Amino acid sequence: METGNDNGSMPMNVTETALDSIEVLDLTHYLAGPFCTKLFADFGADVVKVEKPGEGDGARRLGPFPDDEPHPEASGLFLYLNTNKRSMTLNLKTGTGRRIIKQLVRSADVVVENFRPGVMDSLGLGWDTLSSINPRLVMTSISNFGQTGPYRDYKASDLIHYGLSGFSYLNGDGVGEPLKGPSSQSQYHAGMLGFIATMCAIMARRATGEGQYVDVSILEAVCAIIQPTILRAVMTGSPSRRASVPRAYPSDFFQCKDGHIYLYAPREPDWTHLVTALGLNPELANDPRFSTGHLRSQNAGQVRELLTPQLMNRDRETIFNELKDWGVVSGMVLNTEDLFRSEHLNERGFFVDVEHEHTGKLRYPGAPFRMTETPWRVRSPAPTLGQHNYEILHAKLGYTQNEIVRWRQAGII
Amino acid sequence: MSILSLEGVRVIDLTQAWAGTFATCILADMGAEIIKIEARNRPDMWRGPIAPEMAAVSPHGYPGGEPGQRPYNRSSLFHGVNRNKRGITLDLAATEGIAIFKELVKIGDVVAENFTPRVMSNFGLDYAALREINPAIIMLSMPAYGTTGPYKDCRGVGGSVEPMSGMSSMMGYADGPPMNHGAMYPDPVAGMMAASALLIALYHQRRTGVGQFIDLSQQETTMLMLGEALMDYSMNKRVRKRQGNHHQFMAPHQNYRCRGEDDWIAISVSSDEEWRQLLKVMGEPAWARDEKFATNIARLDNEAELNRYLEEWTINNDKYDLMHRLQQNGVPAGSVLRTSEVVDDPHLEARGYIEELHYDDIGKYKTPGLAWKMSATPGRIWRTAPGLGQDSESVLTELLGITRAEYEKLVKNKITGEEPIEP
């Protein structure tokens, strides 16, 4: 079978999904937990997302919103993270709410939650209770610092995770303060690791018939991301402090006519090719000041002076393509507008159109990877709050219309 | 009962450097058997140079700064992502090497590679060929820009893919140029996502006997880490700019200098309650009574001044001591640790995340270990990264029934072996 699902959308004859036999009871909110359960949902699992009555997942309030008009059904973050999931509202602090959760646990394969450690236990929904209801259950808890340890009850944010993992220390120009990355990278790391560990537990269950408890810490997820960098710091005794000039040069950003480009030519033959491609005298490549990546780093200012005029009269795309022909690696600094307009990404069909009753049709980022047999797919947009209450409470669990109406009045759902 | 969730899974691993190797390292940590294949004349580039003189100026990080006799077995970066793997060498440019590779594919579940797209086809080892050998095989290709599209043949490194993902346009100081993370960030992100992909494919394969081909683009994976920014453009045609550590909704939210040469603390306040607690720890400073700092919106409007006042206080404090004091008073704060300090953090040690491992030819070092706790199948670190070709004999004789004599002949013909060959 060809690898080219070139337009990214689903071929008509492949409706198979990999995870459709898996039922996930999703108690998560905000980003890390929902990104974990998004991976399940987008590859076919039946994910039931439990939200607080009235307010729902806090991500519904974060936006971005079309025209900056807040609306709980139009939050960009929520819409992106919650494709393919069903929503039911349930107040977990009520006896009825907890009873319903326990009923759903009976047939669930997985429960994922990202409350503060101790919350599930205080609700009477801890691992001991749930696993006794369903010994095959995999329960995954994602938290800031894990379920154990001296920082267990500490508060956190992406900035704090970047700091404690050693990641911030690497970022910045060495003059200003250390930097975190854009958005909330640490949340995404923990979401992916939560998915990985949960899937491994599901694989283990095939052999043992039993479930288990999975404890993922956002801090450890970030440490895992820079695991070799940490080991290098430990073994060399040197912490890889951020610097304004990299040690092997050039591997840095340069301004050009219409923006910036990252040039990577720390070794030969790339440096000579770079110099030639930019129309400079190839002899310059052999100038003693510039003859190794190390020397070029020490004379970085002069390297910049040399290259800049040739870069400033070319646009990013021209430089990128010229260097590509020489086999020299570079990267254009693209912003979100550039990405949506990218010929490469559009030919790959990376962006997908998703229709939603409140926002209409919008383009979303698409598949994290292409699979030939069990492709990624948006079967349904993010759910509205409690959209599937009736479907789940009546059709699946057998409660009557009357009961459902009473519960809504009582704020139980 | 086994503590290994992926026992019985076998990966034929051609990945190099960071991205693909991290994916297979995660699987290895969970108990999969990873057979890492390198060439004697072109080992994994993260082993660094073969010759000690060249190694002295490379960034691969040798213990105590000493390349040693065999620097290619002592690269700290290589050790960071290749533990738990079995390492063999094979010359894939030779027919005998290809034949042995195909025998391994027959008994494998996964072939993983992160070469530029034409390499596997040039070896005659594209997915169509592998599937002929083993219909259940899962093949993972993870080049910088995917295996299709105008950029499919573009080489990339983490530092060049990051700007192509949109990340760099949004990273850096508010009035400064675009920046990358200080480590080649798209690599481990793609690695984590690739591990996820392999698990989905393995689950499907175990249930149906069917393998498949996976195309993972490092550019696209990294883009997914920017979901909100992409949605903002999609909804509002708005392009997000660099803003340093500024947060749209929170102030204070910054790294502040502490006592020491390069020591900082991260403080992020998300409610009036946390703000009041912060002021309590600070001893109710007079400047904080100003209207300018009374509400969250006011604090955001006067952020520069707020940060100056805060740093005048933090600079006289120890970054660890201050973190604990603030946290004990309900204020989110965290020390900005040096990468070398992370392994000494008391919380991570108490969690069992830090393991002290003995590295052959190197010695004992604290190591970032397994980043998850699983009650039944936690995984384990059973060995540190293999030396070049270290397991060639055991893998080829045990798994493929090759005799000792045949193995010696293969070494003589340079098809396999433990000594590097100058390219």
For the segment B247-266, the average pLDDT, to the nearest whole number, is 97
The answer on pLDDT for A14 being more than 90 is no
Q: What pLDDT sits at residue A307?
A: 95
H or E element, residue B54: helix B52-55
For the segment B14-22, the average pLDDT, to the nearest whole number, is 97
Helix/strand/coil (H, E, C) string of A219-249? Answer: HHHHHHHCHHHHHHHHHHCCCCCCCCCCCCC
Q: Which residues of A touch B348 (CB under 8 A)?
A: 149, 219-220, 223
The answer on pLDDT for A264 being more than 90 is yes
State pLDDT tens for residues A93-150.
999 999 999 999 999 999 999 999 999 999 999 999 999 999 999 999 999 999 999 9
Q: Which residues of A touch B229 (CB under 8 A)?
A: 182-183, 336
Mind telling me the catalytic residues of B? 187
Contact B227 A196 (CB under 8 A): no
Neighbours of B300 (CB within 10 A): 17
Testing the interface with A: which of B224, B258, B261 to mutate, by most A Cβ within 10 A? Answer: B224
State pLDDT tens for residues B359-416.
999 999 999 999 999 999 999 999 999 999 999 999 999 999 999 999 999 999 999 9
For the segment A66-81, the average pLDDT, to the nearest whole number, is 98
Testing the interface with A: which of B58, B160, B238, B335 to mutate, by most A Cβ within 10 A? Answer: B160
State pLDDT tens for residues B83-121.
999 999 999 999 999 999 999 999 999 999 998 878 999
Q: Which residue of A has its CA nearest to B7?
A: A204
Q: For residue A125, give the nearest of A22, A25, A24, A21 by alpha carbon.
A: A25
Report ipTM (2 d.p.): 0.98
Q: Which structure tokens are listed for B12?
A: 């034929």
Computed over every residue of chain B, the mean pLDDT equals 96
Testing the interface with A: which of B235, B239, B248, B325 to mutate, by most A Cβ within 10 A? Answer: B235
Contact B374 A167 (CB under 8 A): no
Q: What pLDDT sits at residue A11?
A: 43
Q: Any bridge partners for residue A252, and if so which?
A: A263
Cβ atoms of residues B187 and B202 within 8 Å:
no
For the segment A161-168, the average pLDDT, to the nearest whole number, is 98
Contact A371 B214 (CB under 8 A): yes
Q: Any bridge partners for residue A87, and if so which?
A: A49
Q: The tokens 């030939």 sit on which residue?
A: A372
Distance of CA B79 to the CA centre of its chain: 12
Q: Which residue of B has its CA nearest to A178?
A: B255
Q: Residue B209: left (phi > 0), alpha (psi -120 to 50), or beta?
A: left
H or E element, residue B229: helix B227-236
Q: Which residues of B touch A237 (CB under 8 A)?
A: 64-65, 340
Backbone angles phi, psi at A85, to 5 degrees: -105, 155
State pLDDT tens for residues B286-303.
999 999 999 999 999 999
Q: For residue B353, give the nearest of A222, A118, A33, A194 by alpha carbon.
A: A222
Instruction: Respond yes or no on whether the N-terminal peptide bond of residue B252 is cis (omega within 30° of 0).
Output: yes
Q: Please give the C-alpha separations between residue A412 and each of A16, A30, A398, in angstroms, as whole numbers.
A: 37, 21, 17
Q: Which residues of B touch A148 (CB under 8 A)?
A: 350-351, 373
Q: Which of A3, A150, A214 sits opposite B347 (nearest CB)?
A: A150
To the nearest whole angstrom, how far is the Cα of B113 from the nearest Cα of chain A? 14
Contact pairs from chain A to chain B, CB under 8 Å: 510
Q: Give the CA radius of gyration of chain B.
A: 25
Testing the interface with B: which of A112, A145, A229 to mutate, by most B Cβ within 10 A? Answer: A229
Q: Which structure tokens are listed for A159?
A: 């900035």
State pLDDT tens for residues A299-340.
999 999 999 999 999 999 999 999 999 999 999 999 999 999
Q: Which of A204, A262, A292 sits opposite B376 (nearest CB)?
A: A204
pTM: 0.97
Query: For residue B205, with 0-12 CB atoms within 10 Å meaning exposed, 13-18 middle and 19 or more buried, which class applies?
Result: buried
Write the CB contacts of B344 (distance below 8 Å, at least 6 apart in sequence).
B366
Q: What pLDDT sits at residue B116?
A: 82
To the nearest whole angstrom, how far is the Cα of A406 from the nearest Cα of chain B? 35
A110: helix, strand or coil: strand
For the segment B137-141, the average pLDDT, to the nearest whole number, is 98
State pLDDT tens for residues A193-249.
999 999 999 999 999 999 999 999 999 999 999 999 999 999 999 888 888 788 889
Q: Which of B217, B250, B368 sits opposite A227 (nearest CB)?
A: B368
Backbone angles phi, psi at B127, to 5 degrees: -60, -40
Pairing of strands B138-141, B110-113: parallel
To the nearest whole angstrom, how far is the Cα of B34 from the nearest Cα of chain A? 16
Q: Which residues of B touch A145 (CB under 8 A)?
A: 347
Contact A237 B182 (CB under 8 A): no
Q: Which of A159, A237, A292 sits opposite B64 (nearest CB)?
A: A237
Contact A3 B157 (CB under 8 A): no
Neighbours of A164 (CB within 10 A): 31
Half-sphere exposure of B65 (CA within 13 A, CB side): 5
To the nearest whole angstrom, how far is the Cα of A230 from the nearest Cα of chain B? 5
Q: What pLDDT sits at residue B418?
A: 96
Q: What pLDDT sits at residue A15?
A: 65
What does the alpha-carbon distance between residue A9 and residue A4 come to, in Å, rounded to a whole number?
Answer: 11
Q: Which residues of A touch B203 (CB under 8 A)?
A: 18-19, 199, 202-203
For the segment B209-219, the average pLDDT, to the nearest whole number, is 98
Q: What pLDDT sits at residue B118?
A: 87
Q: What pLDDT sits at residue A30?
A: 98
Q: Please give the C-alpha separations between residue B154 and each of A259, A285, B52, B80, B375, in angstroms, as whole numbers.
A: 20, 24, 32, 27, 43
Contact B371 A223 (CB under 8 A): yes
Q: Which structure tokens are listed for B351?
A: 């969690």
Q: Which of A215, A235, A344 sits opposite B150 (nearest CB)?
A: A344
Q: Which structure tokens are listed for B245?
A: 């550590």
Q: Please give the C-alpha separations between residue B150 and each of A6, B84, B110, B154, in angstroms, as whole numbers.
A: 11, 37, 27, 9
The answer on pLDDT for A26 being more than 50 is yes
Q: Apex CA A143: angle with CA A102 and CA B5, to 5°?
A: 75
Q: For residue A219, give the nearest of A280, A292, A166, A294 by alpha carbon.
A: A166
Write the CB contacts of A333 (distance below 8 Å, at least 6 apart in sequence).
A253, A259, A260, A261, A262, A316, B163, B168, B169, B178
A157 against A6, higher pLDDT: A157
Cβ atoms of residues A192 and A39 within 8 Å:
yes
